[in-house]
Amino acid sequence: MDTLIHLDPLPSVESSFAIDEHLSEQAGTRLARLWCHRPSLVLGLRDARLPHADEAISHFRSLGFEVHVRTSGGRLVVLDEGVLNVAIAFSGEHLPSVDEGFRLITATFRESIHGLGLDCEVGEIPGSVCAGKYDISIEGRKIAGVSQRRRRAFALLHGFLLVEGTGRQRAQDAITFYDLAGAPPKDAVQPGTMAALSEFQGSCTIQTAARAVEDVLRAIPDPVPSGDGTGWTG
Separation of alpha carbons 78 and 90, rounded Å: 25
Q: Among the options 36, 120, 130, 204, which is catalytic?
A: 130
Catalytic residue status for 204? no
Alpha helix segments (H runs only) across the chain: 13-24, 45-48, 53-62, 98-115, 167-181, 206-218
Of how many residues is the chain composed?
234
Separation of alpha carbons 18 and 227, rounded Å: 33
Name, in order, each residue with C-beta under 8 angstroms of 103's C-beta and a sequence gap of 6 or more.
none
How many other β-carbons are positioned within 10 Å of the β-carbon of residue 182?
Answer: 13
Rg of the chain on CA atoms, in Å:
17
Catalytic residues: 130
